[in-house]
Every structure is written in C-alpha cells, then in structure tokens.
Amino acid sequence: MKKKVLFIFVAFTLLVLPLSGACAPAAPPVAEAIKIGFVHIFPATHYAVVDQFSSYFKMVEEATKGKYTLDIEYYPVGTLLGGSEIYDGVVTGIADSGQSSFGYNPGRFPVILTLNQPGIAPPKNADAAARTIWEFYNKFKPKELEDTKVLYLYATGPGYLHSKTPIRSVDDMKGLIIRCTGGGVEAVKLVGAEPYACPMGDVYVSVQKGLANALVSPPETLDGWKHHELFDYSTSVPHFYSEFFYIVMNWDKWNALPKGLQDAFDAVAEDAMKEAGQIWQYQQKVGMDVASASPGGHEFIYLSDAEVAKLRAAIAPLREAYIAELNAKGLPGEEIVNEAAKIVEKYNKLEYEPWTP
C-alpha cells in the first residue's frame, strides 16, 4: 500500500511540475545597450548636459519600451572637436553624433542661418525660437543638412549686449569691441562697433585680456559661463541676435542602429525640441537672477521705442543683402526670408508652459 501511494505521488509531481513551470511569468527581456559618442560645445557640468541632453537620451530609451538602453560617451567642449569642427566631424565619422551652434560656421548653412540674421526673425523667447527653427527646417529641408541625420534643432532665445558700461542707446554701442557670431558680425559693424570672434568657451579669458569689452549672448551665459563676473550691464537686443543649435548623427552610425531605436529617436524629436526651448528659457531667468544677486548688482536695460527703431534702421540693409546672398546660391531668397519672419511671428504670439527642474 505504501509503495502504491509513493508511486502515485511521484507520478503526480512529475506531471504537475512542468505544467507549473510553463505557467510561470517569463523573465523580462534584457535591454540591449547601444553605445553612442556625443560631442558638444559645453563644459561637462553645464545645464545643457545635466538637464537637456540627459533628458533627451532618456526620452529615447523610454520610447523603445525597455528594448534598448543608451550608453552615451560625452565629449565636452575642447576634448575631441572645437565648436566649428563638430558638424563636419560628425559627417566624416570622427564623432558618432554632436551638438553645436550653426553660427560657428558662417556660410556653411545658408538657409538655416537666415534665422540668425539680425532683424529678420527675432524671437521673444527660447520657446518661440525652438519652435521656429523646427518648423522652418521641416518646411525647407535644406540640402545643407542632408549629410547628417538631424535628430532635432533648438535655440537659445533672444540676445542681450553685456558690457562693462551701460548701453542705453545705439550711439553707446559705437567703439565697443563686441564678441559675436554669424550674422551678428555685420550688425556690429553697422552700429559702429568692432566684431570679435571666438568660441563661447574662450569669452571669459578674451574679456579678461581686453581682446573684447562686450558680448552678445542670451542672459543664460551670465550664469552658465560665469559672465556676470565680467560685466555689470546687459541691454536687450532681440533684433540684434538669435542663435540656433543642431543635434545630428553620422549617417553610417544611424544606419547601423536597430530600426526600433531609429523609430524611438524620430518619435521623440518634437518633444525634445520643445523641452529644450523650455529649459533654455528657464535658464535665461536663472542667468538674470544670478547676475542681479552678484556683489554690486547687475542692471538690465531695455532700449526705448525710439532707440529700437534706430537699431532696426541701422541693421535694415542686412535683410536685402541676405536675400541677395541666398539668390546667388540659387535659393529663393525672398521666400526663405519672408517665411522666417512669418514663422517666428506666429510663435511669438503664443504663451508657453515653464520648465520645472
């Protein structure tokens, strides 16, 4: 009897155990790690790296629904390529992907740099600027960007003229040596100042050495690049300056990525652009707050309507000159310039949700 009971128990166990194993939940798939090199123009501790880039790559990972993780190898400013070298460095495969400013390569991006030209498409903030360049790019899909995979584009927002002495009029700009980029060079000349070119990372030392005594940049640089230590005044000049950034990938690297990961990058592009605009607008205010709290304070100056009109009149020739430049390249200059102004006007009318750290 005992042998019979034992036989039945063993037989039952052998039958049930495989079935119970079959019903157990399957182990979650292990995410595949994909390594991507990413070169950019900022110090490793800059908020663009800490907040913007890290959030972007996290968005991409989440869009793959756990199938892929990204192992991003960051190359901060000056470690692999200079700012003006990054785009072509990505094209040739020196870097898998990269971020920099279009303004660092005058003439290299004629269609996109329409937005950089003083007076053509002045944004009211970084949110409007980011949306402007994204729509502008998607409308024209310029050939100048076909040699990389464009991941997304964004912008800094309107510029300020930072100086050691107060700038309350166009005449006060005369004689200054102003660090500027791109289209800002000709605008600086038209107001009677001298342009000085250098990467943002070299501005601090250049001003200390007296190579420049003023800077055109968004107010976020007052904190992000510690420029509040150099200047005591900042004058709003939205018609004078706007700057736009790219994030691109080498085509061979892109084509080697799994299709699901490519789809994830594409799926989050617009949201990444919008978040970048929010982050940069948030940092505009942070830069102003940090400067205002510095010893001795920091004054923010807004030109009178009469002085704004004088500034616009001074730089007005740049519009027709840029149309002619585009036409000479076989591009529809009038259409491109008019569309840039139209798009930024649309986004300048909107209100935007602030970014929360």
CATH number of the domain enclosing 258 = 3.40.190.170
Say yes or no to pLDDT of 25 above 70: no
Instruction: Please indicate, yes or no, if residue 7 is contained in any of the structural domains.
Output: no
50 domain-assigned: yes
DSSP conformation class of 77: T
Query: What is the structure's pLDDT at 96?
Result: 98
pLDDT of amino acid 181:
77
Residue 246: strand pairing partners: 100, 153
The runs of H, that is alpha helices, within the chain are: 2-23, 47, 54-63, 86-92, 126-140, 184-190, 203-208, 221-224, 251-256, 259-292, 305-315, 317-328, 333-348
Using CA atoms, how far apart are residues 182 and 190, in angstroms rounded to an integer? 14
Instruction: Record the pTM.
Output: 0.86
pLDDT digits (tens, 9 = 90+) for 90-142: 999 999 999 999 988 989 999 999 999 999 999 999 999 999 999 999 999 99
Rounded to whole angstroms, the Cα distance separating 60 from 282 reads: 23
Residue 2 binned pLDDT confidence (cut-offs 50, 70, 90): very low
Number of domains in the chain: 1
- Residue range 71-91: average pLDDT? 95
Q: How far apart are CA 5 and CA 3, in angstroms?
A: 6
* Secondary structure letter of residue 350 according to DSSP: S
Whether 46 is covered by a domain: the verdict is yes
Position 64 in a domain? yes
pLDDT over 90 at 184, yes or no: no
φ and ψ at 174, to 5 degrees? -65, 135
Structural domain contains residue 57: yes
Q: Does the residue 251 lie in any domain?
A: yes
Domain presence at residue 230: yes
The pLDDT of residue 293 is 96
pLDDT at 21 over 50: no
Q: Is there a contact between 116 and 183 (Cβ–Cβ < 8 Å)?
A: yes
More confident residue, 23 or 75: 75
Residue 4 in domain? no
- Report the candidate in 236, 174, 231, 226 with the shortest Cα–Cα distance to residue 200: 226
| Percentage with pLDDT > 90 across the chain | 82
Residue range(s) defining the domain that contains residue 295: 32-348
